[in-house]
Every structure is written in C-alpha cells, then in structure tokens.
Amino acid sequence: MTKKILIFTFMFLFVTGLFAQGQEDELRNKQSLAKTAEGVPEGWTTGGNFGLNLDQLLVIQPRSGAGDNKLSFGGLGQLFGIYKSGKLVWDNTFKLQEGFQRVGKSSRGKPFEKTLDLLEIYTKPGYALTNDEKWYVAVNAGLQSQLLKTYPGNFLKGESFTGVVDTSGNPVYTDLDPISQFMSPGNIVLEPGIEYKPNAKFSALFSPAAIRLTMVMNDVIADDPLFDDTGAFLGSRHGNPMVYDSTGVVSYENTDFQMGAALRALYQDKFLDGRVSFSTTLYSFYNYLGGKNGQKNLPIFEWTTSTGFEIWKGIGVAINTGLYYDYLKPVQADWDSETGYQTSKRGAMFTEQILLTYSKNFGSERKADK
C-alpha cells in the first residue's frame, strides 16, 4: 500500500509539471500580477507550480569512513483556482509536499524515512462590501493532514529487530504500530469573518468565531501518550484530549472541537522584473474552549515563507520555510542515529526545503459571461 501511495504521489507531482509545461505561454507570472494589480480579473484564473529535489549516492565496497549509500527525493505540487463574478471572489488552493530518504542498506531492505508530508486543501468564497473591493465578508474552509502512514523513527515500514534469531539463523522482527496516517492527525477549519484586501499583494482575514476540529481517527494513534526526558506526561502525540495518571491512559478522545478567534494573512510580491518572487503567510488561532484536563491554553502559530528565483521561462529555484507552534502537540527531541528521536518536549517545529521548480499560470483569463 505504501508503494502505491509513493507512486501516486510522484505521478501527481510529475503530471502537474507536464500539464503546466504543455500550455501556451500567454500568461507569465509577472504579467498576471501586473494585470491584477487593480483587482482580480473576471472569470476563472488558474495555475500552479511544481518542484522536485533529488540526492543520490552509491558506494560499493566503501573504505572505512568513506560513507554509505543514500537516496533522497521529494517534491511540491500546488494548484490554485480563483473565480470572480462582480463582487464575488472564490479562492481555491491545493498543496501536496512530500520528502523521503534512505541512508545505508540492510539484508531486508532498509525502509524509506519520511522527511516531509503535508496535504492542504482550502476554499474561500468572499463578497465585497465596498465598491473599491477592499473589504469582504468571507468564509474560509479547509483541511490539513498527512498522506502516508508513518511508523516510529518516521519510517514508512513498521518493523523492528527483536535481537533474536529463529532456528534457521534468520533475524526475528516484530510489527510496530503507526504513529500517523491520513486524518490521524487531521484538522478541519471553518472561519467566517471579515477580509481586508487593499491590493493584489496583501490580504488579511479575521474570524472572531472560527471552528477548528482536530481529528485522530485511528484508535491506536489516538491512544498514544508522550513524555519528556524526565518521564513527565506531555499529552497525546497529536493533541487530542487525553487523561493520564500513574496507572496509564485513563481515557482519550478521537476528536477535539475548538472554537475561537483566527487570523490569516498573506503577503506576496515580485522583484527584479519578476525574476525574484516572495510570499509569506501567517496563521494564528486562539481557542475560547481551551484548557482541558489542566493543559495550558496558548495560541496556535504558523508562519511560512517561499522565495523563488526564476532562471529561465518559469524554471527556477525555490526556498520554502515553515515555523509551527502548538502547545498541545509536542515535538520530537534527543535524536539518535540508530533509533531516531528518543523523547518529546514542548516547542516549535521548523522546516526548510530547496527545490528546482516550474511555475505556470495555465488557465489564463476568461471574459465574464454576457
């Protein structure tokens, strides 16, 4: 099953790039930005970008200290669609970001390790409240999850050597429980509010009554407590409600309904005649209903950036970063080269990825229906 999902992931990223590359070049990104500086064009505007990274090393009969085999690859696929009809604007985005690596080899075939796994789908209809179309009433809805089943050590295959061999001299392995999979965890958000769009470069949506539903649908994953390096209980692995005492897990819930205030902001611009692009997003959420089971109630914080350098006709290099903080979701700590991360702690997660990309607006503009 994992191999099928890996093949599907690669095919999606590859087809996204081919589809974008096969279109006419009537809309370069910098031209599109100039045309929409005074507002979104009528009809549909669609596009996307695609990126791949690959790192491979083969070592046969290595000398001592010379290194080991390595295969690392990953990709990013993003699609967007914006529809405008009068004062109605409907934004849609899809994002899939994956990364894998395998270092060394073993007689059973060492499994791939997952380095990055993110699936996001968002839709946001909005209606302009003012004639200058700077203030909107809007509703943002979205889903965020992981795609692949993952096991301890972030491996895509769940087995561990027991330290013993059978009567034939073969090593004995035991199956491991997964630590994440699709919709374990998953987040669904619904954020009605007011959006401010002074120009094509900046937008901010504030929702005073946002709904956030955290789900861990796999019972084995939901019933998984984490501890720090002193053995103190931190909470469940993915932030779902859990009660724990000296006897172990007393109870847990697969879902956590949250309601609070949410802020989403976006800034994007291009420089040097469109050859350099920069975008950044900020998301924060405060749960009015927080503080369950004696836990602290702190805001969720997410900040991402993407800096692109165009080399030739849409082909370029992108540097993407992400900073994520959620008090209820511990991060891994105390990494060991043999067994991976040993403990957990409260803290922020940071990601960085460099990709060779191809960007394209492949939908162009469509005149409004008469």
* DSSP string across 217-254: --HHHHS-EEE-TT--EEEETTS--EEEETTEEEEE-S
The predicted structure's pLDDT at residue 61: 79
Token pair belonging to 69: 């085999």
pLDDT range class, residue 106, cuts 50, 70, 90:
low
- Distance from first CA to last CA of the chain, Å, rounded? 49
For residues 272 and 289, the answer to whether their CB atoms sit within 8 Å is no
The predicted structure's pLDDT at residue 1: 54
Is 342 a member of any domain? Answer: yes
Higher pLDDT: 55 or 138? It is 138
Overall pTM surpassing 0.75 (yes/no): yes
Is 181 a member of any domain? Answer: yes
Please give the average per-residue pLDDT across 237-265, as a whole number.
Answer: 95
Q: Is the pLDDT of residue 18 over 70?
A: no
For residues 207 and 288, the answer to whether their CB atoms sit within 8 Å is no
Q: Which residue has the tokens 């405060």?
A: 286
Is 107 a member of any domain? Answer: yes
| Counted domains in the chain | 1
Is 296 a member of any domain? Answer: yes
Distance between CA atoms of residues 210 and 213, nearest Å: 10
Is 131 a member of any domain? Answer: yes
Token pair belonging to 50: 């695609």
Q: What mean pLDDT value characterizes the chain?
A: 84
Q: Which residue has the tokens 């990494």?
A: 335
The predicted structure's pLDDT at residue 69: 86
Distance between CA atoms of residues 135 and 204, nearest Å: 10
Three-state secondary structure call for residue 201: coil
Of 154, 340, 332, 350, residue with least CA distance to 227: 332
Please give the average per-residue pLDDT across 48-73, as a whole number.
Answer: 84
pLDDT range class, residue 337, cuts 50, 70, 90:
low
Q: Is the pLDDT of residue 208 over 70?
A: yes
Is 367 a member of any domain? Answer: no
Is 64 a member of any domain? Answer: yes
Is 202 a member of any domain? Answer: yes
Distance between CA atoms of residues 306 and 76, nearest Å: 12
pLDDT range class, residue 290, cuts 50, 70, 90:
confident
The predicted structure's pLDDT at residue 359: 73
Structural domain of 314 = 2-360
Distance between CA atoms of residues 114 and 101, nearest Å: 7
Please give the average per-residue pLDDT across 336-342, as a whole number.
Answer: 63
pLDDT range class, residue 57, cuts 50, 70, 90:
confident
Three-state secondary structure call for residue 365: coil
75: buried, middle or exposed (CB in 10 Å: 19+, 13-18, 0-12)?
Answer: buried
